[in-house]
Structure 1
Amino acid sequence: MSEKVRIALDAMGGDNGAAVVIAGADLSLSRHPDTSFIVFGDEAVVRPLLESRPALAAASRLVHTEVTVKMDEKPSQALRHGRWRSSMWLAIDAVKKGEADVTVSAGNTGALMAMSKFHLRTMPGVSRPAIACLWPTLRGESIVLDVGASIGADVQHLVQLAVMGSAMASVVFDLERPTVGLLNVGVEEVKGLEEIREASQVLRTLTCSHMDFRGFVEGDDIGRGTVDVVVTEGFTGNIALKTAEGTAKQLAAYLRSAMGRTWMAKIGYLFARQAFKTLKDKMDPRKVNGGVFLGLNGVVIKSHGGTDAEGFAAAVDLGYDMARYELMAKIRRTLGQAAPAPVAGEVAS
């Protein structure tokens, strides 16, 4: 790749639009000075924001577009009116043309996936793309995929998810052999849907040096951080993600209520407020930010739509890592290695 990491930004995506995107990009640039940006958006809105940040302005090229994909648009609608000319499409197109190494958008998830899949296509050996997210755990972070790109998965797709997730974990966590688990209703081999049981058998036979398959994991293992990569299909993964986000908000509401109930509680909060802030940031899905679209011929990062500048910067940071440490090449190598081990008595071809 080039000396600089080139990041294409959909400046108009998300609930808060260009103000958060530009502020987040500026924060990320301060951490990664070897970054350049192509910013797609309404020049009248974006240019004043860029000019107020000289370092970012010097590292950026602004491309004007008047078309923005709305957050509530259906993917089919977004494709019809936003193809070729929206800020989202043009940011993806920059990766397609080789002008950028990664795209980052806080826009409509369904539209972003539809455009990315339509324009970039899936990699050879991958049947469907997936969304992988970083999940806070008791031991740090894990990767969970798929969290909503598609519903349902056969054996082949589950194996592909495991391979792609392990490649991402090797980049994000700097691990030679990330541990991988299949999400199931129990750890016993006889439990779960037939596709999951069969996928487990296939993964146990793979001769892949870049993945350490640990078998089944259960729902509570996600938060424990039992494995580096948790694999599931998109329906279950999205429910798990939304349940975790809802639980975090519920616990935060309980804490606010408890801390304001008595004068002693309020005084206690004053002494412990930094600890509560740390807990809030750890539980806030907008802070642990950035879903990676895996399996495409290009890297696309989806930021949480309601994120703030720090959260968007985290998504840009993730995109930087995916490009700088060559996620695409690692996925291709790992897919090439992921072959079932020869059965005893067979001659390997």
Structure 2
Amino acid sequence: MSSQPRIAIDAMGGDEGVRVMMAGVALARRRHDGLRFILFGDEARIKAALDSHPNLRAASEVVHSDSVVEGSDKPSVAIRKKRSSMSMAIAAVKAGDAGAAVSAGNTGALMAMAKLALRTMPGVDRPALAAMLPTLGDNDVVMLDLGANTECDARNLVQFGVMGAAYARIALDLDRPRVRLLNIGTEELKGTDEIRDAAAILRAAEMLPLSFEGFTEGDKIGRGDVDVIVCDGFSGNVALKTAEGTARFVTDLLRKAFTSSLRSKIGFLISKPAMHLLKHHLDPNNHNGAVFLGLNGVVVKSHGSANDKGVANAVHVAARLLEEDITRRIAADMAGVAALSAAASKQEFPVK
């Protein structure tokens, strides 16, 4: 594993600062002891944080950056910051100095920089942001797109489905992930023309390593009966934020209920093990690490407020995708999609 490509880390992107970013990367290295890193950011602050992590320090190169992409920066502004820690981390992937980049910074800026520098893979029109969401089933669910593309046509949705299935085969260890399109109903006639056309193409894609199972609705996202949920970025981002808000609502409501009286406090003590299980299941740090799929390189977005465990999970996602060669898998699957697209152009499958 010593020959594994290094991972470029934007050490300045997280809300919690360099210390937490370095603690998270150090935690990830204990899980993947062969990993090596290039750490981009304020050299003095990074080296000070590394004093607490000698094992990480021995496996890392520190590269000073002159600027930082702020959370308020528009993508057009961020792109001009060529010497920012985020820009330099992505440039390292483009140059081949690193196999993947991980950042907890501005999502829009990261997407714009990554797409501009790395470009999309052959056969992919637009990259998509994919993440793992918790479910009641045995596995999490891969959902995409979560905000990179607000408007999508049938071709985009088909590509997202193929890329999401490739990711699910790695992350969930599945041979043929179950794929569904997010829709306002499960009946075949429901939804927009784009969704129905995408369904027709995916339904005919029997040669691809996925199992298309039609549509799913928003209230079924967490049921655990599907492995990949595909949607446009607008719907996906709304669904994701709604799920996150609902999780906070439930935990805050339970906290309020359990502190409302002496009897409630006694009830909390009795149910404490179950509450810990619920907290673990809903903790976003346990599912941290969204991936930009469809680029010529691996780029992973960590949540800005992630703690050290969350950062470690994001680095783990990057390491796993490198180990399993996600770009090669997607490229192979896209070759099959090309045949479907050729058929669609002959009106065999109507694509808008």
> Which TM-score tier does this pair reach, normalised by the shorter chain?
over 0.9
Measure the CA separation in 2 of the matches of 1:56 and 1:268: 44
* 1:6–1:238 Cα change, 3 Å: same
Task: Report SS of the residue matched to 1:113.
Answer: helix
* 1:205–1:11 Cα change, 3 Å: same
- The CA deviation string for residues 201-245 of structure 1, in whole angstroms up to 9 with x for no partner, is 111111433111111111122100221100000000000000001
Does the 8 A contact of 1:6 with 1:99 survive in 2?
yes
* TM-score normalised over the length of structure 2: 0.94
Aligned to 1:24: 24
Task: Report SS of the residue matched to 1:35.
Answer: coil
Aligned to 1:77: 77
Aligned to 1:97: 95
Task: Report SS of the residue matched to 2:140.
Answer: strand
Measure the CA separation in 2 of the matches of 1:142 and 1:38: 31
Measure the CA separation in 2 of the matches of 1:288 and 1:119: 27
Aligned to 2:349: none
Is 1:64 the counterpart of 2:64? The answer is yes
Does the 8 A contact of 2:29 with 2:35 survive in 1?
yes
- Fraction of identical pairs, as percent: 50
Gaps in structure 2 of 5+ consecutive residues: 347-352
Measure the CA separation in 1 of the matches of 2:150 and 2:207: 27
Measure the CA separation in 1 of the matches of 2:91 and 2:342: 42
Aligned to 2:331: 332
Does the 8 A contact of 2:2 with 2:34 survive in 1?
no
AA aligned to 2:3 is: E
Measure the CA separation in 1 of the matches of 2:289 and 2:281: 14
* 1:342–1:70 Cα change, 3 Å: closer
Aligned to 2:350: none
Aligned to 1:52: 52
Q: CA deviation at 1:271?
A: 3.4
Answer with 265-274 or 126-135: which moved more: 265-274
Is 1:253 the counterpart of 2:244? The answer is no
Task: Report SS of the residue matched to 2:287.
Answer: coil
Answer with 229-238 or 4-13: which moved more: 4-13
Q: CA deviation at 1:5?
A: 4.3
AA aligned to 1:162 is: G
Gaps in structure 1 of 5+ consecutive residues: none
- The CA deviation string for residues 314-346 of structure 1, in whole angstroms up to 9 with x for no partner, is 111111111111111100011112333999xx9
Aligned to 1:238: 237
Aligned residues between the structures: 342
Aligned to 1:195: 194
Aligned to 1:7: 7
AA aligned to 1:227 is: V
Aligned to 1:107: 105
Does the 8 A contact of 2:289 with 2:317 survive in 1?
yes
Question: RMSD of the alignment, in Å?
Answer: 1.7
Aligned to 1:169: 168
AA aligned to 1:117 is: K
Task: Report SS of the residue matched to 1:134.
Answer: strand
Q: CA deviation at 1:287?
A: 3.2
Q: CA deviation at 1:275?
A: 2.6
Does the 8 A contact of 1:282 with 1:288 survive in 2?
no
AA aligned to 2:97 is: E
Does the 8 A contact of 1:207 with 1:341 survive in 2?
no
Task: Report SS of the residue matched to 1:223.
Answer: coil
Does the 8 A contact of 1:5 with 1:34 survive in 2?
no
Measure the CA separation in 1 of the matches of 2:2 and 2:203: 38
Q: CA deviation at 1:2?
A: 7.0
